[in-house]
Chain A
């Protein structure tokens, strides 16, 4: 039985823009960019033109085209983007497209023989690199990561960047330089004076714009914290490196300078990718998944086609090879798409596509021999977080009037959705999960698996629920027992004890008045009998409860106990905080545990110094006894501690819902006894 609450529409993000046409437009632009960039590389490689002057620049432009355009398209396919982020995505996409076209036109101009279109192609390639490259140093750092400027004053830098790019583009287009291709090519339209003037003005404008953009990014870093700071930091490093490499152009010998630039250029989208995937920028899981499947499938199909073609070509003519390769590729499209989609789904969302695997793995964990029933909730939580990669999971058990969290796993963030754990129709608890970071609700496919997991875990939780109820009953019984003992002690001490003491006084008075021999003997007998009765009553009351607690209070009683156990050989130190009023059961348990632990340490550990600390937090009273003795690995022959004593301490803590722990002190010198006792119990608070 699953309960999936209604969630807000994910598209209802403030400022969200729906853009079906624009989305498809971005996809088409990215495809054109990738194809153009890849074609440029193929053209230069096939034309054996890598040794020619402008060829290395093709590499830089192609890298921009191959990386920025897809990143821009993926970001634009995010589910809840605001206008600012879309603006940045369009800048990335535009840069990628312009660079890819610049790479392609340059590659064609490099390798093509003489033709009427070539001069126009050269004119085009001479300015296309400007909108392809310059935004990486100006607009991208200015707008990253929100797509909004750091402040209103930064509009000037933005406008200057745009104006500078226009001027530089026009200047570069009109510059009358000859393109050094296989055939030298001249541009059809050139004006040296205008080109020089525009280029100079553009340089004067763009240089401070780039500095301002970098400063803006630095300012964002200083203003931001946490996740946003990490998102900005990764880009700051990449842009800084790109700026440095660009500034060193001409200083570093070619082609090393261009290779370094290509690497630095590639680092910027890598940085954005890191921010997107690792630091959850733009919450692009769905878009990333689709992009990864599409890219992976495309490359796989190309690989299958080329491999098949290469193999078939050795034994058959080219035509058959092409047809056969296309046929094999076509046959593999659907199965490959399905498998890759499952693989990406598994990578992002764990095993939700394979419920059988999740169920089998959980069953195998639950049926592991030696697994305590108390560990089952934690096992279930761990399995849910590991297998489905959900944000967090916790198991809660339903009690009569409340719920109690038994186990939790993962980092809890966002609203948890609950799945009922039912056993034989009765609600025994809840499996609460939070969606993956970046998701607004638990996906229905996750919900189906969680329902199966809930069914598997419910019987174990039912057993735990019974155990919890038993424990609560035990705590109530112990609390009632201790209260009854306290009452009985008071009754015996104040009632029967006082009566016997009075009786004894009367007998003693009668002894003083009577001189007759037999009467004196009778009164002596009566006096000794009453004295024995008083002693027995005292013994009974002392056994019911440590008398020091009632006479001095818990804190003073513990201090006296420590003083009594201390000696020249072993100093006992005490530190007790201001203790609250606690139930009789907790008082007795605290006193008995401290007394047993101190006695053990003083008598058996060979310690020279023992320390008792009693403190509290909001829910528990903490007792800590440390010593500097032999520790847990006591040499053979040394007097052994009381195993019964340790068991008794543990039992006393657990019977009132507390915990007990015995560990070795850091460094192996001495032992540490810790007990935590609940300050509030189910019943019987005094």
Chain B
């Protein structure tokens, strides 16, 4: 028997999906491997160092800018692009902006603090990232209407006010660094991470299609604040960053609730 009152349901997919050709998937696999190899190796090494206590005086950097947060940004921006491409879907605006922001902020920081091989690193990242974009069957749509979020916007600008002096200070420290820090650009990494988190939050506050990017600031600032307190990275600054992270988390949740309850 069949349902005689069945309503005709026609789903209109929001994202067009068609299985990519073998060549396209092969290109994605190769470019994905090239782009992900470096952050994967870095993540494994940094995690090992954190767990085994190697260079324990750098645990703050290992957990944040030089390490896990930066790697999360790196892989977290690449993997969704590759997944969408593999499935033949168009990556979302949010995913595209996340990857572009990661590359752009790193490039800007490397221009102002070129020591420690930062420009070469950025060259590799931009090149491999660019190849991934070329291999995608459909590229993300980056044009999106602008609608300022009244909760995310102040949080983003507070983040900018807190992190901009920090980014500048880290860039100066990197340029003035000698010895180990000149070869291993921790300060550049910290500047890059904080700048990326700030820009992501600003984009999230500006674009409805990228609201989810605010969560990166919430998580990143919270972890950085806790790590700063745990590893003695300036109590006041760490408290401010932690407060920013918690406020962003609460702000995002409150905004969502407010929108849903009305």
Contact = CB atoms under 8 A, between A and B. Distances in A.
Given A302-B157, A306-B160, A660-B5, 12 more contacts: A292-B150, A295-B154, A342-B148, A343-B149, A348-B258, A389-B262, A600-B1, A632-B2, A634-B1, A646-B1, A646-B2, A662-B3
Contacts of A314: 168
B151 A296 contact: yes
Interface of A: 45, 48, 50, 277-278, 292-293, 295-296, 299-300, 302-307, 310-311, 314, 336, 339-340, 342-344, 346-350, 368-370, 372, 389, 436, 600, 604-605, 631-632, 634, 641, 643, 646-647, 649-650, 659-663, 671
Contacts of A344: 150
Nearest to B156: A303
8 contacts: A336-B153, A340-B153, A342-B147, A372-B8, A436-B262, A634-B1, A660-B4, A660-B5
Contact of B147 (A343, A436, A631, A650): A343
B167 to A, nearest CB: 9
Contact of B164 (A311, A600, A647): A311
Contacts of A661: 3-5
Contacts of B257: 277-278
Nearest to A370: B10
Contacts of A340: 148, 150, 153
B165 interface: yes
B45 interface: no
B56 interface: no
Nearest to B161: A306
B235 A293 contact: no
CB-based closest 4 A-B pairs: A303-B157, A299-B154, A370-B10, A306-B161
Interface centre among A310, A647, A649, A660 (most CB of B within 10 A): A310
B259 interface: yes
Contacts of B168: 310-311, 314
Contacts of B164: 306-307, 310-311
B4 A646 contact: yes
Interface in B242-262: 255, 257-259, 261-262
Contact of B150 (A343, A660, A663): A343
Contacts of B54: none
A347 B3 contact: no
A300 B148 CA distance: 11
Interface in B157-212: 157-161, 164-165, 168
Contacts of A369: 10, 12
Contacts of A307: 157, 160-161, 164
A45 B154 contact: no
Q: Which residue of B7, B10, B160 has the most chain A CB atoms within 10 A of its CB atom? A: B160
Contacts of A339: 148
A347 B150 contact: yes
B17 interface: no
Interface residues of B, number: 34
B150 A296 contact: yes
Contacts of B21: none
A663 B3 contact: yes
Nearest to A389: B262
B236 interface: yes
Given A339-B148, A342-B147, A300 B255 contact: no
A300 B153 contact: yes
Given A277-B258, A307-B160, A343-B148, A662 B165 contact: no
A650 B154 contact: no
A572 to B, nearest CB: 18
Which of B1, B161, B164, B165 is most buried by chain A, counting CB atoms within 10 A of its CB?
A: B1
A305 B164 CA distance: 12
Contact of A303 (B4, B12, B149, B161): B161
Contacts of B261: 277-278
A314 B2 CA distance: 74
Interface string B215-238: 000000000000000000001100
Contacts of B3: 632, 661-663
Given A296-B151, A347-B258, A303 B1 contact: no
Scoring A293, A342, A369, A370 by chain B CB atoms within 10 A of each residue's CB, the highest score goes to A370
Contacts of A45: 236
A293 B154 contact: no
A660 B3 CA distance: 10
A310 B4 contact: no
Interface in B1-52: 1-5, 7-10, 12
A319 to B, nearest CB: 18
Contacts of A349: 262
Contact of B153 (A302, A343, A649): A343
A326 to B, nearest CB: 15
A300 B154 contact: yes
A296 B2 contact: no
A307 B150 CA distance: 18
A321 to B, nearest CB: 12
Contacts of B12: 368-369
Given A307-B160, A389-B262, A641 B1 contact: yes
A403 B168 CA distance: 69
Nearest to B158: A303
Nearest to A647: B4
Contacts of A370: 8-10
Contacts of A372: 7-8
A372 B9 CA distance: 10
A675 B185 CA distance: 75
Given A311-B164, A342-B148, A632-B2, A347 B255 contact: yes
A336 B153 CA distance: 10
Contacts of A650: 4-5
A389 B262 CA distance: 6
Contacts of A310: 161, 164-165, 168
B149 to A, nearest CB: 6
A39 to B, nearest CB: 16
A393 B2 CA distance: 34
Given A278-B261, A310-B164, A339-B148, A659 B157 contact: no
A347 B153 CA distance: 13
Contacts of B160: 303-304, 306-307
A509 to B, nearest CB: 55
B259 to A, nearest CB: 6
Contacts of A302: 157-158, 161
B109 to A, nearest CB: 14
Nearest to A288: B258
Contacts of A311: 164, 168
A381 to B, nearest CB: 17
Contact of B5 (A299, A343, A632, A659): A659
Nearest to A293: B150
B157 A632 contact: no
A653 to B, nearest CB: 10
A662 B2 contact: yes
A303 B154 contact: yes
Contact of A662 (B1, B148, B149, B158): B1
B202 to A, nearest CB: 10
Nearest to B148: A339
A347 B259 contact: yes
Contacts of B159: 303
